[in-house]
Structure 1
């Protein structure tokens, strides 16, 4: 009187019994390792390196509307008569049409998701109510970094070429 419940397990059924949990465990570990790699790469390292380096930015740049920007190797930045974004306006509200501003600040190399590589600029206007504001200068063609677009957090842009 033997029941199928009491029958000894075959070798194949024993293998199947431990193979499935093992496959699930290996898959879970693989997913965890990949996720950790993504977090480290994008979170701590800032993502893929830009196609340009600091030497592509350092030096003097002249704008198509008369502004000038100077990126120093030490991370310093100065600008004369650059286009003015609303967040850098010296008074309340939007800046006047064609408003220009001068000032200093700092910059660091950055890779912008929509614009590509360039400089993240913390700008300190020489005058007005704003202590500091942010601007971006990005290369429209990283393979030929001879032109920059100066953009503001709140609208506005100007084209600059190396002097």
Structure 2
């Protein structure tokens, strides 16, 4: 093979590898946006969010927050009538944009008062994830458990 033949073969193989890599990358996205969900205004986060475990979050544009059947153990905890820990709870409070550290990315800070808890409010962090098309929120507790919340799909 001549010098130019070897050069042409190398260029062809490099081009083929680059095209194959681009095709694999495009298929790996599966039509998902590459932009992480990072709302800048209250109106872009406001609304109803639901989890796969039956929890419900409600963010209002004026900063009010309410929740039903959410998991906050061990950050906040109420007890059942027989004095057993009750990690799933409901309540209300206020929210604002904030992050526990610069490394955590976009988040909200929630000052939450669980129903039936006669002590000070709990501070709960909601980490924002997903992308603009499929945004997600998970409540971050001390034990690092995750329960993802998404906007309900219209039926």
Confirm or deny a common fold (TM above 0.5): yes
CA contact (8 A) 2:50 2:149 kept: yes
Counterpart among 53, 74, 77 of residue 65 in structure 1: 53
TM-score normalised per structure 1: 0.58
Alignment CA distance shift 1:130-1:144 (3 Å) = farther
The Cα RMSD (Å) is: 2.4
Asked whether the 8 Å contact 1:58–1:73 carries over to 2, the reply is yes
CA distance in 2, matches of 1:120, 1:101: 18
- Ranges in structure 1 where 5+ consecutive residues have no aligned partner: 1-49
Residue 141 (structure 2) aligns with: 152
Q: Shift of the alpha carbon at 1:118? A: 2.0
Distance 2:133 2:142 in 1: 25
Q: How many residues align?
A: 110
CA deviation after TM superposition for structure 1 residue 70, in Å: 0.1
Larger gyration radius, structure 1 or structure 2: 1
Length-normalised TM-score, structure 2: 0.61
2:90 equivalent in structure 1: 102
Q: Which runs of 5+ in 2 are unaligned?
A: 1-36
Maintained 8 Å contact 1:139/1:145: no
Q: Residues of 1 paired with 2:143 and 2:118: CA distance?
A: 17
